Structure 1
Amino acid sequence: MLYISLRQYEYVSAIGRHGSLSAAALTLNVSQPALSNALTRVESHLGYPLFIRRQGAAMALTPQGRKFIEQAEDVLTRAAQLESPNLSTKGASHIRLGMFTDLAPVHLAPALQELRAALPDVAVSYKVEPFERLMSGLIDGQIDIAITYDLSMDAGFVRQKLFDNRPFALVSPDHQLASAKQTTLADIAGFPLILSTEGLSAQHILGLFRRNGLHPTVAHRAASLDLQRSLAAHGEGIGISYANPPDSDSYGDKPLVSLPITNSDASEAVVLAHHGTGPIDATIETAERVLIECLRAKPIATSCEVG
């Protein structure tokens, strides 16, 4: 028995395309209450919201809402084909991967390669963003799954741990700490620091120092990992980053020394996350399995094998 009619599929899809009840009603030449009632009935039957309602803003799709509308439009296309067999079919599905900025230089290319190998008929795109934009993208449905640090995520996110990352102190070869094989927060607190401009990342690192009763001075906030490494290599301070590319030179072939920071509370989990507690699309579920097998097996590798 069908509980959702083709008309309701059409109404909900129109709301998703136009972002508001008024614009969808105008396009379909129906009343706003008719659309609102149809949407309420569909969401009530499904048991989860399709849209995020914000006062004074467009109705943003939830991740489940976007998937529902993609499938609803496929149903409408197939129904139309029964009447007009010459209509073209809908294209392949699409996965939108998000990745935290500092993780992307090492992990993005292998992740894309594995997804494309495992899902050859699925289009894969990506966004490399700071933490807050990743979270907004997941909430608004612009990103399906994200690889990021487990920072400040609420219960609306489903996350699976991939591996732990430890921060590194980046110093020039002539720095007095350069000969050490490792270091601690206390060892580097007396030197000027070079942190990222990404707010949550910098706050996290400064929070580590404060929890250990340390109050360092920040000399620079670098807009990219390359700039941070270059400043550290030129003796402008100690860079602190969870990203540690295998190349021992900074931009411009300036030598650089990376020292692991051994404080037990400095380790941070890297997770695979998606938003929403409703049902997850089967293709996204396969993509998550591929990424988990790849990154859990070889978190620092340049290529992965799917088991």
Structure 2
Amino acid sequence: MPSLPPSSGSSGSSRVSLRLLRYFAATAETGSTTAAARLLNVSQPSISVAIRELEALFDDALFARDAGTKLALTRFGARKLAQARQILGAATAFEIDKRGEGDAGEVRIGVFRTLAPAYLPAVLRLARERYPRLAVRFVEGDLAQLEDWLHSGQIELALTYDVGLPAEIGREVLAELRPYGLVPAASKLARGKAAISLQALAREPLILIDLPHSREFLMAPFWQFGLQPEVRYRATSLELARSMVANGLGCALLITQVPASGQSASVVEKPILEETVRQPLVIAQAGTGQTRAAALLAECVREAVSETMAARAIPRKAGTAPARKLR
């Protein structure tokens, strides 16, 4: 089994093998040694011994032992998991290249919950068509969760908005999106092709996307102009917010644009009259290294965003803002 040299300062003869790293990563992913053993088809004691070996080698705890039934990574453990993911990814890439299958491998991506319906299906379709041996695993989360998962190494990439991302998170801007008003098709605000003002939108009951960071960002344009709309309902999904607007329960200020196939005649998207904040749509990643599998998936993400926005721009409805160019 290939192995790595012991860390500096270690007095023992233990070596960090890929097997130990796989056991550690599986435990972190599943939250228990029992679940990790089932995942890897090994005995539970083997997993427990591997964790103890690593902790003895590093002379530090990888998991908090008082966190309830589910094992939780310590701060040190989260850092080591990110390193382990990189090593395991590099080892997989080495084995794949040796077999002449450079477009194979496994990659984990996180997608902001409201962005997933708009872009993730196209990402998965492109990945399947172009790289059938590429295994894509995805999770949906809010902005705070995606940041945590990037730091802990649970995901390699994130398709998200650049809202409060720390400097150590790398990012590639795919587009800059402006907020738009979503109004019922039968309302006065839906009439004509002209943009609507934030003041007019603020006079209507507001349906707010209620997710960490999102709620503040979506209220910021109103606050920027001294407006305080009445938040009548709070939704945690884009689909629910759009359905509420379609049923005449209020209006919404949104950033995420739905694909042309998901648009409804019951709602109208209206550009905002005032020049306000623009939201960068980004591919984010922690660290400087990128596996071959992650690079291939990032390529699919870029094209999916471009493809989805271009499709929206072709049969544009009255009152719908044109899609912005990618940078």
What is the TM-score normalised by the length of structure 1?
Answer: 0.73
Residue in 1 aligned with 2:36? none
Which letter does structure 1 place at the counterpart of 2:114? D
- Taking a change above 3 Å as real, the CA distance of residues 33 and 200 of structure 1, as seen in their structure-2 partners, is closer
The two structures, once aligned, show a CA RMSD in angstroms of 3.5
Q: Is the 8 A contact 2:184 2:247 kept in 1?
A: yes
Task: Kindly indicate whether residue 221 of structure 2 is the aligned counterpart of residue 208 of structure 1.
Answer: yes
How far is 1:25 from its partner? Answer: 10
String of CA shifts for 1:94-123, please: whole Å, max 9, x gaps.
111221122222211111122223322221
Task: Kindly indicate whether residue 285 of structure 2 is the aligned counterpart of residue 270 of structure 1.
Answer: no
How far is 1:193 from its partner? Answer: 0.6
How far is 1:248 from its partner? Answer: 4.5
- Taking a change above 3 Å as real, the CA distance of residues 18 and 114 of structure 1, as seen in their structure-2 partners, is closer
Which letter does structure 2 place at the counterpart of 1:266? V
Residue in 1 aligned with 2:264? 249
Residue in 1 aligned with 2:240? 227
SS of residue paired to 1:146: strand
- Taking a change above 3 Å as real, the CA distance of residues 3 and 190 of structure 1, as seen in their structure-2 partners, is same
Residue in 1 aligned with 2:297? 287
Cα distance between partner residues in 1 of 2:106 and 2:92? 14
SS of residue paired to 1:177: helix
How far is 1:263 from its partner? Answer: 3.0
Q: How many residue pairs are counted as aligned between the two chains?
A: 267
- Taking a change above 3 Å as real, the CA distance of residues 105 and 134 of structure 1, as seen in their structure-2 partners, is same
Cα distance between partner residues in 1 of 2:198 and 2:62? 42
Correspondences of 1:165-244 after superposition (within 5 Å): 165-181=177-193, 182-244=195-257
SS of residue paired to 1:158: strand
- Taking a change above 3 Å as real, the CA distance of residues 133 and 301 of structure 1, as seen in their structure-2 partners, is farther
Q: Is the 8 A contact 1:244 1:258 kept in 2?
A: no
Which letter does structure 2 place at the counterpart of 1:141? G
- Taking a change above 3 Å as real, the CA distance of residues 137 and 262 of structure 1, as seen in their structure-2 partners, is farther
Q: Is the 8 A contact 1:197 1:221 kept in 2?
A: yes
Which letter does structure 2 place at the counterpart of 1:160? E
Residue in 2 aligned with 1:44? none
Task: Kindly indicate whether residue 108 of structure 2 is the aligned counterpart of residue 96 of structure 1.
Answer: yes
Q: Which runs of 5+ in 2 are unaligned?
A: 7-13, 33-44, 67-71, 96-103, 313-327
Residue in 2 aligned with 1:8? 15
Q: Which runs of 5+ in 1 are unaligned?
A: 40-50, 77-91, 303-307
Which letter does structure 2 place at the counterpart of 1:100? F
Which letter does structure 1 place at the counterpart of 2:237? S
How far is 1:259 from its partner? Answer: 0.9
Q: Is the 8 A contact 2:143 2:160 kept in 1?
A: yes
What is the TM-score normalised by the length of structure 2?
Answer: 0.69
Residue in 1 aligned with 2:149? 137
Cα distance between partner residues in 2 of 1:3 and 1:210? 56
Residue in 2 aligned with 1:35? 57
Q: Is the 8 A contact 2:24 2:50 kept in 1?
A: no
Q: Which moved more, 1:181-190 or 1:290-299?
A: 290-299
Q: Is the 8 A contact 1:64 1:280 kept in 2?
A: no
Cα distance between partner residues in 2 of 1:29 and 1:155? 32
How far is 1:198 from its partner? Answer: 1.4
Cα distance between partner residues in 2 of 1:30 and 1:243? 45
Cα distance between partner residues in 2 of 1:178 and 1:31? 65
Q: Deviating runs (4+, > 6 A) in structure 1? A: 23-26, 29-33, 51-56, 73-76
Residue in 1 aligned with 2:87? 68
Percent sequence identity over matched residues?
Answer: 27
Cα distance between partner residues in 1 of 2:225 and 2:277? 10
How far is 1:275 from its partner? Answer: 1.3
